[in-house]
Structure 1
Amino acid sequence: MSAYQNMSREELLQLQETLNAQYQDWKAKGLKLDMSRGKPAADQLDLALPMTSVFRQVSDFKCESGIDCRNYGALTGIPEARRLMADMIGTTPEHVIVYGNSSLNVMYDTVCRSMVRGVMGNTPWGRLDKVKFLCPVPGYDRHFAITEFFGIEMIPVPMTENGPDMDMVEDLVSHDSAVKGIWCVPKYSNPQGYTYSSETVKRFANLRPAAADFRIYWDNAYAIHDLYEEGGDKLEDILAACEEAGNPDMVFEFCSTSKVTFPGSGIAALAASAANIEDITAQLAIQTIGHDKMNQLRHVKFFGDIDGMKAHMQRHAEKIRPKFEAVWEVLERELGGLGIGSWTKPRGGYFISFDSMEGCAKKIIAKAKEAGVTMTGAGATFPYHKDPQDRNIRIAPTYPTQEELAMAAELFVLCVKLVSVEKLLQD
């Protein structure tokens, strides 16, 4: 197939007529497909169903420390759950606090606490004239929603295949004391699926921030979400790197089992230095007497240890890998060589990032929705929903069935072609 840019106006008009006819045929199908969020499919959720009955075989509800998990106590989580979550992200249990089901809730709480009470004795952010966060783009819309909610100014930082533009990060962090944090999805980033290189992790650990209360918000959401049993990306331990660099307090690391067991009833964790944990638990003790220890124990009984959790994730990979590969096949077959789009091929995580021609993303998503496929809104992967080039689209392949995904992918590439032709004719 020749690149669209090489076609004459007459050829483009003829192609537009053909594509429009195909699009009308798709609209007539009356599709109602949802690819808007990175949710596990029902067959993935079924994998964890045996966990709901683990207590039928258990009569002792005490954890290793002797606390009855049905009662109060264990503010930072039961020991075996702290160990399991530490192993999940490659750190040690003493760094970990186990929370309820949602890491997003923990991130919101962490920002809120910083606004109201400050970080380790520093001035509460809410009393400052200006608070800023660095936001690698394209990035995770829910991160941006939290900082926007609290009125924090967001500064976009371009992503590379090795992580954020660290020259820009180092410059901003070291010269502006209003910069209090940076959002990071360091492994299989949302939406591009990039994993931060060892050099990037090292440069993060060696930051010299102007603000004493600057923190790296390290959302390690896809730590064990490899698509392939062999060849998954490797991520360096940021906590160990920060300790080695003499910056042990500079990072908050977040994780959860939301896409491992049940998103609505998993367990989440925060990992940080001893000083950070002391600061956090002093305030956490006012907020709660303890999180759901029965659910923590349930997860430990179900997995046993990190090896059991990784084996479980291989079963997840067997279900979602064919979906990613099906999307890649359609993209390559229908768009390869046309010069109207590019896409990522991550080895894990939940998303594929697609870049259209400049100024086309909103129209592509609108056309897809008009024909019955709902996708993440254009601009969602940028602060304030403003993609300056209007080109990034997040593809979430996991939730639809294989049959639905095949239809959605074919319709999507048709919309890309149609909008691209319209763009070229206008130009």
Structure 2
Amino acid sequence: MKKITEFTREELLELQEELEKQYEEFKAQGLKLDMSRGKPAASQLDLTNGLLTALDDYHTESGLDARNYGVLDGIPEAKKLFSDLLDIPVDKIIVGGSSSLNLMYDAMTRLMLFGTQGEKPWKDVKGIKWLCPSPGYDRHFAVTEDMGMELIPVPMTAEGPDMDVVEKLVAEDDTIKGIWCVPLHSNPLGACYSDETVDRLASMKTAAKDFRIFWDNAYGVHHIYEEVPLKDIFKAAAACGNEDRILYFFSTSKITFPGAGIAIMASSLSNIAEIKKHMTIQTIGHDKLNQLRHVKYFGNAENIRAHMRKLADALRPKFDMVLDTLDAELGETGLASWVTPKGGYFVALDTLPGCAKETVRLAKEAGVTMTGAGATWPYKKDPKDSNIRIAPTYPTIEELDKAIHLFCLCVKLAGVKKLIGES
């Protein structure tokens, strides 16, 4: 089959006319579909509705009344639940509120205001910089941008950030203070960090003594097609004397309820002590009733894993639909390429260079809202204007069918326009 990228100008003009007719037919349907963010569908949320009635008593195992003040860093039962799930020692865990992003922002703010381990506050570092593996998570980039840092894109590979680039940058520049990492089923590429990548991140020489890895394991148990192991970043860092380097984050946002889940952070004992010193002033403690509710509902880590298998069964048909449609509609065109994820929440697609913004614009005009083109890069500036994040989870299967077919049509229409303009 001849690729569209190999068409003559006359063939492209003929195809454009046909595609525009199809596009107008979609517009006439008056669609209002949303694939903009990785939100759980109501049917997913229904799987944990039992959480709402799980609390039959307000007391922890030690007899503490969870309705009252106290317990700065989380009830012991919640710490143990996450310790067992993630294989992190209990004394290295702080249980927070519902948002891991909130914990990341707080952690970054503390480093900016107070510094860490005797180093000067980051606000006093002229020209402070942060590494941003790209394509990556827009909300991560927004945090460091909000702090006034210079964001440095780092190429992503199937095994994580390009470590040759990372190691060179951090060894030469002491104003580079850290890196964002989503180590399993990364947002949006679905990349899973290899053992070698974990080891190199843990052991690399950094010019900044207070270099920090923000290890956001957001999709650590979100396997859809294949369960992927992840090397223990704490053990790897401890073996090199760099355990203070790691700030680990996780939440139940896409396990139970995004607006009412539990988030945790974990780090070395010395970092935890430093963080708690500031937390004692910031808060008296987070929602212990919600922590207890989650403990009562799940009971143990294996029950969380069983729940995630149910979620995978619910999500797999949606991912199958997206991937099958991309293959059928775009696979032989030469107009797009994409990554087949093993888990997580997204499918990342690259259009021809210069076509992502136009594709997203066309989709929105016809009634399908996508994540903004460029959002997966620092400052929302995709140098190739090609990457688009597809979020299949929120629409119903019927809505998704329409949305992904329209999206493919928009990819083709934008690509054909680009080729005509260049021919």
Fold match (TM-score > 0.5): yes
Structure 2 distance, partners of 1:53, 1:66, is 20
Offset, 1:54: 1.3
Once the two structures are superposed, the pairs formed by residues 131-210 of structure 1 within 5 Å of their partners are 131-210=128-207
The answer on 1:220 being equivalent to 2:217 is: yes
Q: 1:120 aligns with which of 117, 122, 130?
A: 117
Residue 354 of structure 1 aligns to a residue in which SS?
A: strand
Offset, 1:306: 0.5
The answer on 1:257 being equivalent to 2:245 is: no
Once the two structures are superposed, the pairs formed by residues 272-351 of structure 1 within 5 Å of their partners are 272-351=267-346
Decide whether the 8 Å contact of 1:89 with 1:255 is kept in 2. no
Structure 2 distance, partners of 1:295, 1:213, is 34
Decide whether the 8 Å contact of 1:88 with 1:223 is kept in 2. no
CA 1:295–1:322 in structure 2 vs 1: closer, same or farther (change >3 Å)? same
Structure 1 distance, partners of 2:417, 2:21, is 14
Structure 2 distance, partners of 1:86, 1:317, is 22
1:2 aligned residue: 2
Offset, 1:80: 1.3
Structure 2 distance, partners of 1:4, 1:300, is 55
Structure 2 distance, partners of 1:63, 1:362, is 52
Q: 2:394 aligns with which of 391, 399, 406?
A: 399
The answer on 1:64 being equivalent to 2:61 is: yes
Offset, 1:389: 0.3
Instruction: Report the residue type matching 2:76 in the other structure.
Output: P
Instruction: Report the residue type matching 2:305 in the other structure.
Output: K
The answer on 1:390 being equivalent to 2:385 is: yes
Residues 267-314 of structure 1: per-residue CA shift (max 9 Å, x gap)? 000010000000100000100111111110100000001101011111
Instruction: Report the residue type matching 2:271 in the other structure.
Output: N
Structure 2 distance, partners of 1:276, 1:249, is 6
Structure 2: runs of 5+ lacking an equivalent? none
Residue 62 of structure 1 aligns to a residue in which SS?
A: coil
Instruction: Report the residue type matching 1:157 in the other structure.
Output: V
Offset, 1:84: 1.4
Percent identical residues: 56
The answer on 1:102 being equivalent to 2:135 is: no
1:46 aligned residue: 46
Residues 230-282 of structure 1: per-residue CA shift (max 9 Å, x gap)? x3111111111111122111110000000000000100000100000001000
Structure 1 distance, partners of 2:45, 2:146, is 31
Decide whether the 8 Å contact of 2:85 with 2:302 is kept in 1. no
Structure 1: runs of 5+ lacking an equivalent? none
The root-mean-square deviation of aligned C-alpha atoms, in Å, is 1.0
Structure 1 distance, partners of 2:62, 2:349, is 49
Instruction: Report the residue type matching 2:372 in the other structure.
Output: G
2:30 aligned residue: 30
2:359 aligned residue: 364
2:263 aligned residue: 268
Instruction: Report the residue type matching 1:273 in the other structure.
Output: S
Give the TM-score normalised by structure 2. Answer: 0.98
Decide whether the 8 Å contact of 1:67 with 1:74 is kept in 2. no
Decide whether the 8 Å contact of 1:64 with 1:78 is kept in 2. no
Residues 196-250 of structure 1: per-residue CA shift (max 9 Å, x gap)? 000000101102211111100000000100113xx31111111111111221111
Structure 2 distance, partners of 1:188, 1:76, is 28
Decide whether the 8 Å contact of 2:346 with 2:390 is kept in 1. yes
Residue 156 of structure 2 aligns to a residue in which SS?
A: strand
Residue 54 of structure 2 aligns to a residue in which SS?
A: helix
Length, aligned pairs only: 422
Residue 216 of structure 1 aligns to a residue in which SS?
A: strand
Instruction: Report the residue type matching 2:113 in the other structure.
Output: V
Q: 2:347 aligns with which of 352, 358, 383?
A: 352
Instruction: Report the residue type matching 1:7 in the other structure.
Output: F
Decide whether the 8 Å contact of 1:99 with 1:269 is kept in 2. yes
Residues 37-67 of structure 1: per-residue CA shift (max 9 Å, x gap)? 0000001111111111112xx33x3323442
Structure 2 distance, partners of 1:71, 1:243, is 37
Decide whether the 8 Å contact of 2:346 with 2:391 is kept in 1. yes
Point out the more displaced range, 361-370 or 172-181. Answer: 172-181
